[in-house]
Amino acid sequence: MKKTFTILFVCTGNSCRSPLAEIIMKSALREAGLKKVFVSSAGTAAFDGGKASEGSVFAARQLGLSLAGFTSRSLTPRRVRRADLILTMGPGQRDDITQRWPDVSDRTFVICDYTSSSRRRIADPVGHAADVYVECARDLDDEIKKVLPRVKRALKARRRKG
């Protein structure tokens, strides 16, 4: 049994939403004192080595976080198969993943569905003004606060089994 619980956030370009989700979740896990959770992000149409968008860097700063040093990652079979939980920003990414890798459909969710949110998806801020990126980051922060208790339960269940 794996010792680490792995969460993968997925958007399209891995430059706006999923990098924000990644650093927000890492911060939330630190604040909650939760260890043995590996968090990463990737994009369904991303290339390796790109930077986070300026808007996302700005939005992260507004939350007291930093995307300095972040580099984009493409979605690969290895990243997908290693993840215990895959959270996408919208239904398009979820459908793409479950069509390409049907064996992970039981652990792939649109983040808003996973949290039973009233939102249908996390809107893509690409090309918009800075305030839209900040709103996106705040939406992600809200959703991640709802994800955290489920991660805690998964970790507790894993400890009982292992």
What's the rounded Cα separation, in Å, for the pair 151 and 143? Answer: 13
**Per the residue annotation, which of 16, 17, 94, 136 is the catalytic one?**
17
Cβ neighbours around 76 below 10 Å, total: 11
What's the rounded Cα separation, in Å, for the pair 155 and 7? Answer: 12
* Residue 124 annotated to the active site: yes
**Per the residue annotation, which of 84, 95, 113, 124 is the catalytic one?**
124
* Residue 96 annotated to the active site: no
CA 66, 67, 69, 70 torsion-angle sign: positive
* Residue 11 annotated to the active site: yes
Provide the annotated active-site residues: 11, 17, 124
